[in-house]
Amino acid sequence: MGVTAALGGCSGDTAATQNATLTLVAADYGDSEANSSQKYWDKLVKAYEKKNPGIEVDVSVYSWNEVDAKVKQMVADGDAPDMAQIGAYADYAAKGQLYEADELLSIPVQADFVSRLAEAGEVGRVQYGMPFASSTRLLFYNKELFDEAGLTPPQSWSELAAAATTLKSRGVETPYALPLGPEEAQAETMMWLLSGGDGYTATVGSYGLDSDQNIATFNWLKNDLVGKGLTGPTPPGKLNRADAFEAFTRGEVGMLNGHPSLMQAAEKKGVEYGMVPMPGIDGRAKATMGVADWMMAFKENGNGEEIGDFLDFVYSEKNVLEFSHEYNLLPVTTSASDAMAADKNDKDLDPFLSELENAELYPVAKTSWAQVSADIKQQIGKAVGPNARPAAVLGSLQRAASAADNAE
């Protein structure tokens, strides 16, 4: 790892061999004009073009609500960008439209990716998706509410339910926020499936949404949390993550799963919080959920050499750290992760960093995942409704997932 980090510093020092204009379509991680990702890219491109006067890079930034569709339309119109930094790469890789990562990146740069993330960018053991941003999830709890109630952070499901029961008895509106609404239900679902000992896919890679363990997990959620009134006034199927986060920053939520950006939001509102790994059935969950967004390069314009040179620069330790700091995300490279871990100013991110290497990611290498994820967002909330049968809802989702998988 030390060798990789040292060699990674060579990125971006060698100019490409010919003049070119590269196009990049990227997602916006900012929440206002002041911290728009356009500003990050403009600064980075200016520095790159100063080193490489023969290359121009044109970056267009779009909101997450439109960026994936924008790239999809450009590709369909025969006008693919040279690079896209979006949420999924597998569809394009399956159609042979992308460069392989080792056709682009220098060996030190490709070797510097956090191994768990690099593996998630592979289709058929070939890496096409280059991780660009990542995060993991932890259980946040309101320290003031816990201290007043004499509670300690839960390490198991039974302890979580007991703490939620105590908080409810003390008038806390939402002891545990369970956002299974359409915004990001696939994330909350995966966290609970992992804590129950399973996940979205079986060891052979096929979907296994209705496994016995997953059904048991949702039976517990339905009966022991939702059914006992421990998840607040909004039905989980109608509660979105953003609303749950906002309620936490108002001091109305005792516990919820969150990512690093929630720290800053809570601090701004003066909410004192603690963070622990996700509880499991009988103790700490064996794995947490990790999330990554992806950089990919299209072959259509044939600018592989220039793209690779630019991406070597993008993935330098300095640039990866700058992006991670700006948007409260985790670095996707080992060198930047090591630097963050060694920086006392980043100590609040240590718990998230320590989870990253063993995190489980969405099955993003499957071209069917986009459809399966959309189905989960719309349907999974029904599994914890008052008259629901979790096995029936998970079974329906599994049949749809298998059909989508077989259609690949």
- Rounded CA-CA distance 399/225 in Å is 27
Report the 10 Å Cβ neighbour count for 370: 16
Per the prediction, the chain carries an average pLDDT of: 92
Point out which residues pair with 62 in neighbouring strands.
27
Higher pLDDT, residue 202 or 255? 255
State the Cα torsion 319-325-328-334 to the nearest 10°. 50
Mean pLDDT confidence for 6-18: 40
Give me the pLDDT at residue 18, please: 64
Does 301 have pLDDT greater than 90?
A: yes
Beta bridge partners of 141: 255, 274
pLDDT digits (tens, 9 = 90+) for 312-353: 999 999 999 999 999 989 999 999 999 999 999 999 899 999
Residue 8 pLDDT: 33
| pLDDT tops 90 at residue 10 | no
**Residue 247: pLDDT band by 50, 70, 90 thresholds?**
very high
pLDDT band at 358, cuts 50/70/90? confident
Q: Is the pLDDT of residue 15 over 70?
A: no
Query: Half-sphere exposure (CA, 13 Å, Cβ side) for 172?
Result: 30
Angle, alpha carbons 279-282-283 (nearest 5°): 45
pLDDT tens digit sequence for 200-225: 998 668 999 999 999 999 999 999 99
Strands 83-86 and 20-27 turn out to be parallel
* Tens of pLDDT, residues 128-147: 999 999 999 999 999 999 99
| Res. 286 pLDDT band, cuts 50 70 90 | confident
14 pLDDT more than 70: no
Q: Which of 60-64, 188-192, 352-356 is predicted least confidently?
A: 352-356
pLDDT band (50, 70, 90) for residue 1: very low
pLDDT over 70 percentage in the chain:
95
Sign of torsion, CA 77 83 87 91? Answer: positive
Q: Answer yes or no: is pLDDT of 408 > 70.
A: no
Both ends of the chain: CA-CA distance in Å? 37
pLDDT (mean) for 156-161: 98
Task: Give yes or no for residue 16 having a pLDDT over 50.
Answer: no
Residue 4: band (very low, low, confident or very high) from pLDDT cuts 50, 70, 90: very low
Q: What is the pLDDT of residues 69-121, one digit of tens each?
A: 999 999 999 999 999 999 999 999 999 999 999 999 999 999 999 999 999 99
Instruction: With CA atoms as reference, report the closest residue to 127 among 149, 105, 156.
Output: 105
CA 179 to each of CA 47, 73, 108, 119, 184: distance values in angstroms, whole numbers, following the listed order: 41, 31, 40, 29, 8
Rg value, the chain, Cα: 22
Taking the C-alpha atoms of residue 338 and residue 336, their distance in angstroms, rounded to an integer, is 5
